[in-house]
Amino acid sequence: MDQFSAHLDRGWDLAQRGDTQGAELSARRALELDAQSPEAHNLLGYVAALQGEFDDAIEHYAQAVALDDTYLEAMLNAAEVYLHPLGEFDEAIQMCDQALDLAENDDEFGDALLLKFDALLGKNDVAGARAVCERFPAGPFENPNHVLLVGRAFYELGDLERASPLVEEATRLTPDNAEAWYYLGLVLDEREQVLEATRAFLRSRDLDLDLSPPPWSLSPETFAATARRVVEGLAEQLRAFVRTDEIYVADVPGAEVVADGVDPRALLLLEGFSAEEDGSSPTARLFVYQRNVERLAGSMDAVEAELRTALEREIIGTFVEPDHEHTPQGPLN
């Protein structure tokens, strides 16, 4: 193996193990050996995304595609970053369409379609997302991840009949995949199979805890300070509902809370409501779940905004408009 390939392979290995600094160093050494390498730029983009440097990631992916306009992997990696956390859905769709023109097998075709589906759904283009769903390969899928993602797509469109067997199969094929168990829980919950749904959600919760936090994850102290800052920054009429001296931070909801029906991926929970004797607004303790917030935020810079949005919606749904159907804030709310 030549030096360039050795650095590139080592970079990918380190990235997969979470050593982003080592991976970046290996990628840059590969780039020093071949300044026109699209593969080195693709790896640098991947590492930058892991580090939460999304503009840098897009720049590297763009350079990779500029150097090789048939580089489907870099296009899909860029689409994924455009999709989340940047939320630039049109750019994601453009990348997916380019990749679809180049796809040579069901695996590549499926990857591009699934990302395009998510981007269309992000734009609230349900009709477009449904049309993409009808283009999915019929299966069986060689890629176990596609089993889950296609099942998830059908769930998002409310098609439980087609979603159910796929997410069930996903838990059999990848029994340590938290996402598979989470979506199985959602499907079972829709079927009103409460006990089975709870078991699936508890399994998902345990597996989520086994995952390493992102490299950019805030320290518990910094995250707690961010949560307090968000509460203090609320409009006065909303802040009045939160006991500012009772703000608690945990990684995810406790098992007993999930068993009581709380989404294991809830971002936060208002609990212990009490009415004041003087007739003023009721107040509640606030529990904030760091792993779930950071998963949805996707970057350090987005944590505070994500938390603020979730808390405002939770307070309004719980206290201001309590007659509306409402569940604690999770990633699908």
CATH number reported for the structural domain that contains residue 239 in this entry: 3.30.2010.20
Strand partners, 242: 284
Asked whether the predicted pLDDT for residue 285 surpasses 80, the reply is yes
Could you give the strand order of the β-sheet that contains 268-274, starting from the edge strand earlier in sequence? Answer: 242-250, 283-289, 268-274
Q: pTM here?
A: 0.88
Between β-strands 268-274 and 283-289, what pairing exists: parallel, antiparallel or unpaired?
antiparallel
Where among 160, 185, 211 does a domain terminate? Answer: 211
What are 177-180's contacts with CB under 8 Å, separation 24+?
A: 177/148, 177/207, 178/203, 178/204, 178/205, 178/207, 178/208, 178/210, 178/211, 179/148, 179/152, 179/204, 180/148
Cis, bond preceding 85 (omega within 30 deg of 0): yes
278, 241: one domain: yes
Asked whether the predicted pLDDT for residue 280 surpasses 80, the reply is no
Contact 282, 275 (CB under 8 A): yes
248, 289: one domain: yes
Q: What is the pLDDT of residue 273?
A: 78
235, 295: one domain: yes
Mean pLDDT of the chain: 92
Mean pLDDT of 266-271: 96
Whether 59 is covered by a domain: the verdict is no
Confidence of residue 176 (pLDDT cuts 50, 70, 90): very high
Q: What is the pLDDT of residue 277?
A: 60
243, 183: one domain: no
Taking only the tens place, the pLDDT of each residue in 29-72 is 999 999 999 999 999 999 999 999 999 999 999 999 999 999 99
Residue 149 sits in a domain whose CATH number is: 1.25.40.10
Taking only the tens place, the pLDDT of each residue in 98-123 is 999 999 998 999 999 999 999 999 99
Asked whether the predicted pLDDT for residue 222 surpasses 80, the reply is yes
To the nearest 10 degrees (0 to 180), the angle between helices 144-156 and 178-190 is 30
Where among 151, 177, 211 does a domain terminate? Answer: 211
| Residue type for position 151 | G
Asked whether the predicted pLDDT for residue 186 surpasses 60, the reply is yes
194, 277: one domain: no
Report the half-sphere exposure of 263 (CA within 13 A, side-chain side): 21
Whether 91 is covered by a domain: the verdict is no
Asked whether the predicted pLDDT for residue 261 surpasses 90, the reply is yes
Where among 211, 238, 258 does a domain terminate? Answer: 211
Whether 194 is covered by a domain: the verdict is yes
Confidence of residue 138 (pLDDT cuts 50, 70, 90): confident
The Cα 44–Cα 154 span in angstroms is 34
181, 200: one domain: yes
Whether 205 is covered by a domain: the verdict is yes
Taking only the tens place, the pLDDT of each residue in 296-306 is 998 898 999 99
Whether 132 is covered by a domain: the verdict is no
The Cα 312–Cα 152 span in angstroms is 28
Taking only the tens place, the pLDDT of each residue in 306-320 is 999 999 999 999 888
Whether 46 is covered by a domain: the verdict is no
Range of the domain at 251: 220-320
Q: What is the pLDDT of residue 333?
A: 38
Q: What is the pLDDT of residue 232?
A: 95
Confidence of residue 141 (pLDDT cuts 50, 70, 90): confident
Confidence of residue 279 (pLDDT cuts 50, 70, 90): low
Q: What is the pLDDT of residue 332?
A: 41
Per the structure, the count of domains in the chain is 2
